[in-house]
């Protein structure tokens, strides 16, 4: 177990398609999630476990759905999770999959200063600039190249998270076949339809709790059977319990109606 001086106790910010943390590092048990994850410690190495391989590094770009655990106790770290949808997510996903070792990642980040403030909005802006540095160009501002049917299906899912947003119902809502919608989610959003629902449910619950809703109500609103179901899923996804994360969380941007 981490000592009190080695806990996740920094700033955690939730933005549109991105979650960012900066501060003292600690441990996260074996888990996997749909986001692409950057972990960077400018001054000290951390241990990253990838299935049967464990390595010490100062920077890592972890692909979506890659099982891993992390021990960054004693180090100052920046952790950035990016949803695989959207231009930024797709480009990072491609980079992580093509070059999983990213042996020059620490070199790319050399000389990049950590943000001088713990303000959550500043952290989100800084994280996007950091990702642009990794990609080697300015943050892309071009319109998202996601088909309108997929975007409308995403809206349908968000409007029905408290029930069961079936693939057939979403496909009927947007006027395409379930097979087409399933393929489009995998191609354009970057994760399968059912995994996308789970990701949005976790996010919905976090936003509700951040807004003052109790854990039981937030879990039900997001479609979990109860608070224990939410907590168990959260831990499997992030390697941490909600009680470790929620006290640190600040919502900077929300990206669907009603949140």
pLDDT in tens, 154-209: 999 999 998 889 999 999 999 999 999 999 888 888 888 999 999 999 999 999 99
Report whether pLDDT(11) > 90.
Answer: yes
- The segment(s) of the chain belonging to CATH 2.60.120.10 are 4-135
Domain spanning 4-135: which CATH class is it, in words? mainly beta
Q: How many CB atoms lie under 10 A from the CB of residue 5?
A: 10
What are the C-alpha distances in Å from 64 to residues 37, 71, 183, 189, 246? 8, 19, 17, 12, 23
Closest to 197 measured CA to CA, from 163, 248, 241, 171: 163
- The segment(s) of the chain belonging to CATH 1.10.10.60 are 148-251
Question: What pLDDT score was predicted for residue 255?
Answer: 57
Instruction: Tell me the two tokens of residue 70.
Output: 């992390």
3-class DSSP state of 132: helix
**Dist CA 22 CA 29 (whole Å):** 19
Residue pLDDT, tens place only, 49-79: 987 889 999 999 999 999 999 999 989 999 9
Question: What pLDDT score was predicted for residue 113?
Answer: 85
For the domain with range 148-251, which CATH number is right: 2.40.30.10, 2.60.40.10, 3.40.190.10, 1.10.10.60?
Answer: 1.10.10.60
Which residues lie closer than 8 Å to 34 by C-beta, 6 or more apart? 64, 65, 83, 84, 190, 191, 195, 196, 198, 199
Q: How many CB atoms lie under 10 A from the CB of residue 141?
A: 6
> With the CA atoms of 252, 255, 258 and 259 taken in that order, what torsion angle do they form, in degrees rounded to the nearest 10?
-30
Which residues lie closer than 8 Å to 211 by C-beta, 6 or more apart? 251, 259
Side-chain-facing half-sphere of 47: CA atoms under 13 Å: 13
Predicted TM-score (pTM) of the model is 0.87
Cβ-count burial of 186 within 10 angstroms (0-12 exposed, 13-18 middle, 19+ buried)?
Answer: middle
């Amino acid at each position: 177990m981490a000592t009190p001086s080695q806990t996740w106790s920094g700033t955690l910010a939730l933005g549109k398609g991105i979650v960012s943390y900066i501060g003292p590092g600690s441990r996260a048990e074996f888990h996997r999630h749909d986001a692409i994850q950057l972990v960077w410690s400018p001054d000290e190495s951390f241990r990253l476990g990838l299935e049967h391989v464990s390595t010490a590094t100062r920077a890592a770009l972890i692909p979506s759905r890659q099982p891993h655990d992390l021990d960054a106790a004693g180090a100052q770290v920046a952790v950035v999770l990016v949803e695989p949808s959207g231009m930024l997510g797709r480009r990072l996903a491609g980079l992580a999959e093509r070059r999983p070792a990213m042996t020059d990642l620490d070199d790319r980040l050399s000389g990049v200063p950590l943000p001088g403030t713990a303000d959550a909005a500043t952290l989100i802006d800084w994280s996007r600039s950091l990702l642009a540095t990794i990609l080697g160009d300015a943050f892309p501002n071009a319109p998202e190249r996601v088909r309108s049917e997929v975007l409308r299906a995403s809206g349908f899912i968000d409007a029905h998270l408290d029930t069961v947003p079936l693939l057939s119902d979403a496909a009927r809502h947007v006027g395409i076949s379930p097979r087409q919608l399933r393929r489009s989610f995998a191609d354009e959003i970057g994760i399968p339809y059912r995994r996308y629902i789970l990701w949005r449910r976790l996010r919905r619950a976090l936003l509700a709790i951040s807004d003052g809703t109790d854990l039981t109500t937030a879990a039900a609103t997001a479609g979990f059977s109860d608070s224990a179901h939410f907590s168990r899923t959260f831990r499997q996804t992030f390697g941490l319990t909600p009680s470790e994360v929620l006290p640190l969380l600040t919502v900077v941007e929300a990206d669907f109606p009603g949140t």
